[in-house]
Amino acid sequence: MNTQEDNLDDIIASLIDVDETETSQEEEKRELTGEPVTLTERAAKQVKEIKAQEGLDESLYLRVAVEGGGCSGLSYKLGLDHRTEDDVVFENFGVEIIVSSDHLLYLEGIEIDYPDGLDARGFTFENPNAVENCGCGTSFSI
C-alpha cells in the first residue's frame, strides 16, 4: 500500500509541475512588448478640435480602453478622462493618451487614426494584438 501512496504522490506532483509550467507559459505570452499606443496626426488634430469645441478642461487626457462585447469579443473605447495612478501615459502630436495598465495588454502597439474621406470617417484602430477584427472596426479578439 505504501507503494501506491508513493505513486499517487508522484502523480500529484507531476500534475502540479504541469500546472506550474502551463502558468509560466501563459505569463510569457502576456509579457508586454513596450510598444506605445499612438495617434496619427489626423487623430490628434480631431481630439484637439473636440476638446476645443466642447470647451473641455485641458487637464483631461484621451483614455483608450477595452470592454467586453462587440461582434468579436472586445470593443474599443475612447473618451476624455482624468489620469489615475494605474494609468500609463503616451503622447503624440501634443495629445496625451492614458491607458489603464490592465488594458495595456490588449492595446499595446495600437495606432488610432481619423480618416476623413467619403468612404470612412471616424476613429479607426490598427491593433497588432488582434487576431480577429469585426467588419465595423470597433471590436476585436486576441
- Is there a single domain that holds both residue 54 and residue 23? no
- Is there a single domain that holds both residue 99 and residue 51? yes
Three-state SS string over 87-123 comes to EEEEEECCEEEEEECCCHHHHCCCEEECCECCCCECC
Q: What cell numbers appear for 10 in the block?
A: 508522484
User: Residue 31 has what pLDDT?
Assistant: 64
The CATH number of residue 117's host domain is 2.60.300.12
Domain that residue 25 falls in: 1-31
Cβ-contact 127, 110 below 8 angstroms: yes
What is the chain's Cα-based Rg?
Answer: 22
- Is there a single domain that holds both residue 76 and residue 126? yes
pTM value is 0.68
- Is there a single domain that holds both residue 23 and residue 77? no
User: Residue 22 has what pLDDT?
Assistant: 44
Cβ–Cβ contacts within 10 Å for residue 123, how many? 18
CA-CA-CA-CA torsion sign (18, 22, 27, 33): positive
User: Residue 112 has what pLDDT?
Assistant: 92
User: Residue 125 has what pLDDT?
Assistant: 86
3-state helix, strand, coil in the chain (%, to 5): 30, 30, 35
Element containing residue 14 per DSSP (H, E)? helix 2-29
pLDDT in 10s for each residue of the chain, 142 residues: 555 555 566 655 555 554 444 444 343 345 666 788 999 999 999 999 999 999 988 889 999 998 876 655 677 889 999 999 999 999 999 999 999 998 888 888 999 999 887 776 788 888 887 765 555 455 444 5
